[in-house]
Amino acid sequence: MAYYHRLGNIPPKRHTQFRQPDGSLYKEELVSSKGFSGIYSNLYHIHNPNNVQKIGKPTPYDWKIAKEHGLNQTHLKTAGVSTTGKDYLSARKMLMMNNDVMMGICSPEQRKMDYFFKNADGDELLYIHDGEGVMYSQFGKLEVRQGDYIVIPRTTIYRFEFKEEGPIRLLVIESKGPIETVKRYRNEVGQLLEHSPYCERDIRPPHEMYTESEKGEYLVQIKKQGMLHPYTYGHSPLDIVGWDGYLYPYALSIHDFEPITGRIHQPPPVHQTFQAWGFVICSFVPRLFDYHPLAIPAPYNHSNIDSDEILYYAEGEFMSRKGIDRGSFTLHMGGLPHGPHPGTVEKSIGAKATEELAVMLDTFKPMFVTTQGLEFVDPNYPMSWTE
């Protein structure tokens, strides 16, 4: 994150006495990255954050690469999926992965989590394709709605409550490294520049403290090294009265991303929204097409020599593709050229604008379909460029 935020009650100086109404000390917790040299926040607990009551047996929670899939341009047909599991964790299905990042879907039947989740393996980015609700974490309440990106730093303890009406469909990205704003859009002190496609005003941190002071049994499912570790604490992890710092979850709506356009077709980096180790995330949003008198709005053919490209189609019609539905994924692998489907180039000429929404993930190492992803593979897609 690029700016300081605070919520609730905190002492005037860190690492000093801060007392509760009964005279006892609040328990300070530093949540820091890169040891003590990265961004961090200081949290103030009513209870001891180490108050573990019970540790359950760990269970596997990981995904495997489907090596038999081979080198194929890939379409994953997930548009027709209504639910992917009973609860938030069982519904998370990672469909593609490499050593830097995993990507998949989550459509739980249950709308309210009866446990908390902490990902100690990686940072997360969720795209709310369908649904509306509240994310509760140590950092407070964060209202989420359709079109939101939710950036969740690793070890954030959280749970979701979604509203009862309508479907829930989440795009889930898990990263080995931190997910950050784009470096070339920041100045030397971290502020987003004037020509950035979004600014700090568009970023929504938690807006209200939500403090649970009662004692009891509270389950936190902790993901670490591909296992789920059930930890039961003697109080809620939301026993925070205040915090401040630079490390916290936040939301950014894809609808607040302002597109960069030009006289001729602009390459995908102009759509970049986030960066991380080994990949970038881009947002394709409604925008005017190119305005050169001989412009071709459809993208040109492209041969990835050192990256893989994944597109998640959210809304509208992607004019360079045929047979792609809302909620589809395409994976175009390095080593193979990809481009518009036959007939779409000529059809695009003269078009003035697009209403499409899509999330793109470009990786700098090969991306692989998982064994769970195989069930959604469209076998006809690799040959779909045949005239």
pLDDT at 20: 97
Place of tokens 């001891």: 48
CA triple 28-251-368, angle to 5 deg: 105
C-alpha span between 183 and 174 (Å, rounded): 20
Active-site residue, from 47, 69, 255, 265? 265
Per-residue pLDDT of the chain (387 residues; tens, 9 = 90+): 668 999 999 999 999 999 999 999 999 999 999 999 999 999 999 999 999 999 999 999 999 999 999 999 999 999 889 899 999 999 999 999 999 999 999 999 999 999 999 999 999 999 999 999 999 999 999 999 999 999 999 999 999 999 998 999 999 999 999 999 999 999 999 999 999 999 999 999 999 999 999 999 999 999 999 999 999 999 999 999 999 999 999 999 999 999 999 999 999 999 999 999 999 999 999 999 999 999 998 888 999 889 999 999 999 877 667 778 999 999 999 989 898 898 899 889 998 999 999 999 999 999 999 999 999 999 999 999 886
- Asked if CATH classification 2.60.120.10 holds for the domain at 5-62+85-254, the reply, yes or no, is yes
Going by C-alpha positions, the residue among 224, 227, 125 that lies closest to residue 178 is: 125
C-alpha span between 260 and 283 (Å, rounded): 11
207 is in an annotated binding site: no
182-193 as b/e: b if 16+ CB within 10 A:
beebeeeebebe
Rg (CA), the chain: 22
302 is in an annotated binding site: yes
Q: Where are the domains of the chain?
A: 5-62+85-254, 258-383
pLDDT at 15: 97
Going by C-alpha positions, the residue among 71, 202, 196, 209 that lies closest to residue 136 is: 209
259 with 290: CB under 8 angstroms?
no
Residue 159: enclosing H or E segment and its boundaries?
strand 157-162
pLDDT at 319: 65
308 is in an annotated binding site: yes
- Asked if CATH classification 3.40.190.10 holds for the domain at 258-383, the reply, yes or no, is no
CB-based contacts of 291: which residues, under 8 Å, 6+ apart? Answer: 261, 263
Beta bridge partners of 173: 103, 125
Residue 320 identity (one-letter amino acid)? S
C-alpha span between 31 and 270 (Å, rounded): 33
Asked if 229 is an active-site residue, the reply is no
CA triple 88-90-96, angle to 5 deg: 100
